[in-house]
């Protein structure tokens, strides 16, 4: 199902813009994850676990426009290197350290749903980065013979 969402939202981002899809998807994902995580911690049932897992479908909305967005940030000459370094650095920092920070948040707060705050932080970094990003426009075409 997620593979279909990736294709649909990747194509849609070509029409409406990358940021137009990414920012609302991050906000909705955070809100939904917060509610579902609280629900799971309050009443740990298999149904609640499946609901939380299903929220991962929203990641398909992000995974559609994200590869195109990450490559468009860089000039053609360094596009592959820039996108791969950016992606791997983000996965290393946010994905690799997620268990460490999640456990620390639980121990610090005593709240078993505290890992959701790490997701909020990562999403806030993403939204801030998108807010700072200014799209580069190609120079205007010079008419021939002019």
User: Is the per-residue pLDDT at 145 higher than 90?
Assistant: no
In this prediction, what percent of the chain has a pLDDT beyond 90? 73
User: Is the per-residue pLDDT at 140 higher than 90?
Assistant: no
**Residue 51 to residue 29: CA distance in whole angstroms:** 13
Q: What is the pTM of this model?
A: 0.80
Identify whether the C-beta of residue 12 lies closer than 8 Å to the C-beta of residue 63. no
Domain ranges within the chain, ordered by starting residue: 2-132
Nearest Cα neighbor of 53 from 22, 32, 25, 26 is: 32
């Amino acid at each position: 199902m997620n593979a279909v969402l990736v294709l649909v939202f990747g194509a849609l981002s070509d029409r409406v813009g990358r940021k137009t899809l990414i920012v609302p998807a991050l906000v909705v994902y955070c809100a939904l994850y917060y509610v579902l995580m609280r629900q799971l911690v309050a009443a740990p049932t298999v149904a609640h676990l499946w609901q939380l897992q299903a929220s991962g479908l929203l990641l398909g909305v992000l995974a559609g426009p994200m590869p195109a967005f990450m490559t468009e940030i860089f000039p053609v000459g360094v596009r592959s290197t820039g996108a791969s370094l950016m992606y791997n650095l983000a996965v290393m920092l946010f994905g690799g350290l997620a268990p460490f920070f999640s456990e620390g948040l639980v121990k610090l707060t005593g709240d078993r749903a505290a890992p959701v705050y790490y997701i909020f932080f990562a999403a806030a970094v993403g939204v801030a980065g998108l807010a700072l990003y200014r799209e580069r426009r190609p120079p205007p075409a010079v008419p021939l013979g002019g």
